[in-house]
Each structure stands twice: as structure tokens, then as C-alpha cells.
Amino acid sequence: MKPIQTRSFIGLIAIVILFIVINAVSAPIFRIFRLDLTQEHIYSLSDGTKTLVKNLAEPVKLKYYFSATDSNDYPVLKNYGERVQDLLSGYARLSKQIELEIVDPRPDSEEAEWAEKYGLSGIQLPGGFVLYCGLVVANETGKEETIAFFDPKREEFLEYDISRLISSVSNPNKIKVGIYSPLPLEGVMKNPYMRQQTEGSDPWYFLNELKQLYDMEILRELSPIPPEINLLILIHPKQLSETDQYAVDQYILSGKSALILVDPFCEGDASEGQNPMMMGGARDSELPPTFTKAGIEMPKGKIILDRDLATQVQTQNGEVFNYYVWLNLTSAQTNKSDAITGKLESLHIPYSGFFMMKDQAKKDLVIEPLLSSSSTASIGDSSLLLFGGSPERITQSYSPGIEKLPIAVRVTGKLKTAFPAGKPKAGEKTENPGLKEEEKNKTQPEDTSPHLSESMKPVHVVLVADVDFISNRFSLNVANFMGNVLINPINDNLNFFFNSLESLSGSASLNAIRSRGKFARPFTRVKEIEKHAESRWLEEEKSLNQRVEEINTRIQAIMQQQDANKALTDTAIVDELQKFRNEKAETQKKLRTVRKNLRQEKEELGTQLFLINTFLVPFLILLYGLRVMILRGRHV
């Protein structure tokens, strides 16, 4: 008997060991076999990321600093931190080129010091401790980029943010940006000899930032566009010659990105000799024909009038009016699922145009609105802005519209050339006012690239129907403090501009990463109940609160009288005081009832659902069981 027992014992031990071995071995082998059952596939990486990661030429190291141990008391951060970790593990699973290191920086540890050195930020705890949840992405040559803190509010863009960093570290060459504009972006010196142009103008601030972020070149002319440019910015392209239009056409069809800002009325366009108060067609610019031919247009001389987004303006006389042509966009007018506009909250767009898309354009291209007007905007003539744009005239010509007008759009897809006959014969070139004499005389190399009749790769362009929004006046507050110039953004205008560039400069795979679904799925029914209760009771609560305030004021007034008289002898006053006190108690009682009512419906539903799930269902099971037992008893 004994030998059998020993054998069984050995057998059982072997089973336990087998179990441990199977799981130890399967962990690294089967890590890529997983099925994401979530509706929006929130645990799966998008195709864009997969392409990006699989094409990595050299190893990339991801160092994820997450205070897993110390964040137990902060469930939101803890959950989100784990979610980020899951996603990062997904990256590491995709390719051996990605090495993921997870660091749990404890207070006063070497890891925490490193996190600080990397510039990661986090939640400050009492005692100077910091809860970290940030990422350092580094390549082999030591180039590093960081996400200082994973903000749970940016959850939809989590994958985009991480992929963008990996893409940026693995493609260390700076993007070459070419910018063309007839506007004096670099500023105009004050000319003491000319009477008309007395003011001069400051350089547009966004240029400074552009120089820091990208390898920027100001293009004096458009034909040809230097081949090394891979992101073209056209600001207010007006009256472009055919040759220039052709150059832009061929550039776009080559699949390189472009950001094009056009305007039916550009305030900053005060060309030499032009009366700034007079403006007709001279202050507008137009979309390159490549787009108009494809069916995307910005109606000439038409601007948006929007009562719901109007800016309140005060005149020098102190008069306040709503200016329907200066639009204040909030997050309600931005595309929340696009990485460019997803987190923008306030934009100020003056004298904005809009885009119209023909059915053909909608069929051939993917056109996503990024910014739009409110749904009650109407269309006005830019001639309304003549002689300073009288607010009365503008207000009078407004009549509520019925649909949102797109102000900025992202265009992707296939385009055809606007020059089917090929390169137009060399005609007069558009003269750029900023061009210096020696540059004018410089001969440009002849463009020998073959003619493209349609786009080689999907095009990727962002079009905006306004230019002034990036001017200093509408985007910044410049203050002079003790001799230092302090520049503060006053809205998200420049964020929109730079987000667009960032998105356009990303690889195609990066742009394929759409914003992701959110974890949060609130109880919509409960929210409805709360809303309903609020609409029913909030008004009453407000009026009761007001009544209590009034009574308090009355009581206070009587008490002050009493103080003055020292002794309260007048019975009439005593009675009145008592009356008010009684009324106050009564009102407060009513208020309590109203507040209870506000919560009641919601709480009642909770209780009902609890009772159904916890008592009613077991009770029904019990009844069924009894029935079965009784029937069986009878049968027996």
C-alpha cells in the first residue's frame, strides 16, 4: 500500500509542477494571441500604430514612470495609469524594436530623481511627494521625448500621443516647413518718409514659434516649391499666377501636406497705398484651383454672421454691442474626435469665411469639419465691413440660419489636377511684396519634375477660411513688464494652428490613428432623471432661497433697529420679528422638501433596482423551486 501512496504523492507533486511550468512557458510565448471584445476595441492598437511600429528601423525604448504603489488612494489616476500600461504593453507586444520598462518611482528614490530629471510632472502630494504617470521615449542615439503627465482628460488621444512621440523619436530629422504669404509676416519697419504708412507693423508672433519647432523657410515665390519642403503653409494666397497655382497643384498631388489659410476679408491685408477703411475684393484671397475644381469652395465676398457666437465689444464711448462678425468658438463648435481640435476650448475667429462642398467633393474626398459656426449663423456680404463695419448694419442684415457653416476642414483622399493640359506657359509670376531686389533677380532652377494628373498618394490638407485668427491682435496679449515683453496667448487660436501643423507633419500612419473611445459610460437614465428633476424643482429652490435671503435681510434690519433702541419694547416690532422667523422656518422646511424631491426620484430608482435584483429575483427562484419540489412530491 505504501509504495502506491508514495507514487500518488509524487504524481500530485508532478501535476502541480506541470501546472506551474505550463503557465510560466505560455506567458512569453502566447502574448500576442488576444481577442479584444470591447465595442470600440479600446485595448487594440489601430492600424496606423501597427504600421508605424512595424516599420521602426531602430530600437525605441519606452520608460513608463507610474507610481503604481503610491496611487492606491487615487483611484482615477490608478485606473488610468493601469490603462496606459496596458496600452504600452500592446506596443511592446507588436514589435521587438520596442522595449518597455515600467518604473514605479517611490518617494525619495533614485527613480523619482530620474523622473524629475526627465521633466515629468505629476500630482503633488503633501510632503513634496509626487505621483508620476509619464512617459520617456528614447532612441539609441539618445534622443528623448516625454509626455510629462498622462492626463485622463486626454484619454481619447492616448494612442495618438504615444505614437506621435515614437514617430518623432524614430524620425529625428526636423520637418522642413515652407511658408508663403503676401502679408508682411515678418513685420514692416516704420517709414518716417511716408505719410500714409505711418504705423509699421510688428512681426507675427507665430513665426518665432514656428522657427523653434520646425526647420522653417520663408518662400519668396511659389514656382518652384523647393523639393525638400514637406509641409507647405499658404497664408492668404491672393491673385496667384497660373504658374504658381500649378506649382501648388503639383505639390499637393505629390501627397505632401499643406495648411492653407484663405480669407474673404483679411484685416491684416492692408497693402501699400491701400486705404485701410476701404475694402472690396482687394482684401480677400482664394483657394487654389485644385480644390475649387474638386468641388470645395470658399464663397467670394461672403462672411459668417453669428448671433450665438458674437463677441461683446465696447466702443470708446462705452457703448456695448454684440459684434456678429467676431466669432467666439467654444468646444461646442470644434470637432471633438479629431486630435487637432479635440481639446480646444476657446477660439476667436474674426471676419470668417466658410467652405461649401459640392456632392462630387463629398464623394471623392474625406472632408471632416474641424471648426464650424453655430447652427443659427447666417451669411453676410463682406461689403458690410466697409468703413469699419458698422455693428448696426451687420445686426440688421442677420437672419438666423439653419445649418452649421464649416470654418476649417481636414481634407484627405484622392485629387485630380486643375491643369489637365500640363504646366501652363510661363507667364507673369506673382510678386511677393516681401521680396528683396536681389532675390527678384536670382534665377530659379527650372522645375523638371514630371506632370501629375492626379494624386500619387492620398492628399492631406487642412483648409481654414480665416487668416486673422493667427495675427497677434486676435491671438495674443503682449504686455511690457519692466522692459520685458511678455506674450500670453488669450485663446486657443495658435494652439489650433500648431496642432494642425503637428497633425499634418505626422506620417500617414500617425494620421490614421483616430481618437479612441472612452472608458466612461455614464448612467444616461439617471442623468435624465436628474435633469428632469432639476427643471422641475430648481426654479422653486431658487425662489425659496431668494425668499430666505429677503427674510434674513428684513430680520437683520429689525435687529439693527433694536440695537439702536437698545431695548426692544415695541410689541409690534417683536411680533413682526417673530412673524419673519416663523416664515423663515417655514420656507426652510419647504426648501428641504424641494431638495429632497430633487434627489428622490433618482434614489427611488436605485432602491427599486436594488430590491428587484437582490430580493425579487431570489424570491422568484425560491417560488420556482417550491413548485418543482411540490410537483415532484406529488409525482412520487
Partner 1 sequence: MSVLKAIYKREMGSYFGTPIAYVFMVIFVFLTGIFTFKIAGFYENGQADLRAFFFWHPWIYLFLAPSVSMRLWAEERKSGTLELLLSLPVKPSTAVIAKFLAAWTFIAVNLLLTFPLVLTVMYLGDPDMGVILAGYMGSFFMAGAYIAIGSSFSAASKNQIVSFIMTVVSCLSLILIGYTPFIKFFSGVFPDFILEQMRNLSFIAHFDSIQKGVLDLRDLIFFASLIACGLYASLVILEEKKSE
Report the interface residues with partner 1, using CB under 8 A: 1, 4-5, 8, 11-12, 15-16, 18-20, 22-24, 26-27, 30-31, 33-40, 42-43, 69, 86, 520-526, 606, 609-610, 612-615, 617-618, 621-622, 624-626, 628-629, 632
Answer whether 312's CB lies under 8 Å from 320's CB: yes
Degrees (nearest 5) of the Cα angle 372, 343, 364?
45
Beta carbons within 8 Å of 573's beta carbon, 6+ residues apart: 558, 561, 562
User: What one-letter code names the amino acid at 288?
Assistant: P
Instruction: Quickly list DSSP for 111-130.
Output: HHHHHHHTT--EEE-TTS-E
Answer whether 166's CB lies under 8 Å from 52's CB: yes
The dihedral sign for the CA sequence 376, 380, 384, 385: positive
Distance CA 339, CA 156 (A): 9
Q: Which is nearer to partner 1, 3 or 318 (CB)?
A: 3
- Identify whether 522 is preceded by a cis peptide bond (ω within 30 of 0): no
| Cβ 603 to partner 1 shortest distance, Å | 9
Distance CA 505, CA 494 (A): 16
Beta carbons within 8 Å of 508's beta carbon, 6+ residues apart: 48, 457, 458, 460
Distance CA 323, CA 310 (A): 5
Which stretches of 283-417 are assigned E, i.e. beta strand? 296-297, 302-305, 310-314, 320-330, 346-350, 356-357, 365-372, 378-381, 406-413
| Cβ 528 to partner 1 shortest distance, Å | 10
Answer whether 125's CB lies under 8 Å from 69's CB: no
Torsion angle in degrees (nearest 10) through CA of 491, 493, 496, 502: -100
Q: What is the DSSP letter of 458?
A: -
| Cβ 614 to partner 1 shortest distance, Å | 3
Q: Which is nearer to partner 1, 15 or 278 (CB)?
A: 15
Q: Which is nearer to partner 1, 49 or 475 (CB)?
A: 49
Q: Which is nearer to partner 1, 1 or 320 (CB)?
A: 1
| Cβ 341 to partner 1 shortest distance, Å | 25
State phi, psi for 445 to the nearest 5 degrees.
-65, 145
Q: What is the Rg, in whole angstroms, of the alpha carbon atoms belonging to the chain?
A: 34
Q: Which is nearer to partner 1, 112 or 370 (CB)?
A: 112
Q: Which is nearer to partner 1, 195 or 634 (CB)?
A: 634
In Å, how far from its chain's centre is CA 172?
25
| Cβ 611 to partner 1 shortest distance, Å | 9
- Give the DSSP H or E segment for 61: strand 60-66
Distance CA 282, CA 278 (A): 9
Between the alpha carbon of residue 392 and those of residues 302, 315, 379, 506, the distances in Å are 18, 13, 16, 45
Which is it for strands 378-381 and 302-305: parallel, antiparallel or unpaired? antiparallel
* Nearest by Cα to 70 from 116, 121, 106: 106
| Cβ 624 to partner 1 shortest distance, Å | 7
Q: Which is nearer to partner 1, 7 or 442 (CB)?
A: 7
Q: What is the DSSP letter of 201?
A: B
Q: Which is nearer to partner 1, 30 or 481 (CB)?
A: 30
Q: Which is nearer to partner 1, 445 or 522 (CB)?
A: 522
Q: Which is nearer to partner 1, 23 or 315 (CB)?
A: 23
Q: Which is nearer to partner 1, 16 or 567 (CB)?
A: 16
Q: Which is nearer to partner 1, 158 or 347 (CB)?
A: 158
Cell numbers linked to 208: 518665432
Q: Which is nearer to partner 1, 390 or 614 (CB)?
A: 614
Answer whether 378's CB lies under 8 Å from 396's CB: no
Q: Which is nearer to partner 1, 34 or 457 (CB)?
A: 34
What are residue 147's DSSP bridge partners? 135
| Cβ 522 to partner 1 shortest distance, Å | 6
| Cβ 150 to partner 1 shortest distance, Å | 18
Degrees (nearest 5) of the Cα angle 594, 597, 598?
90
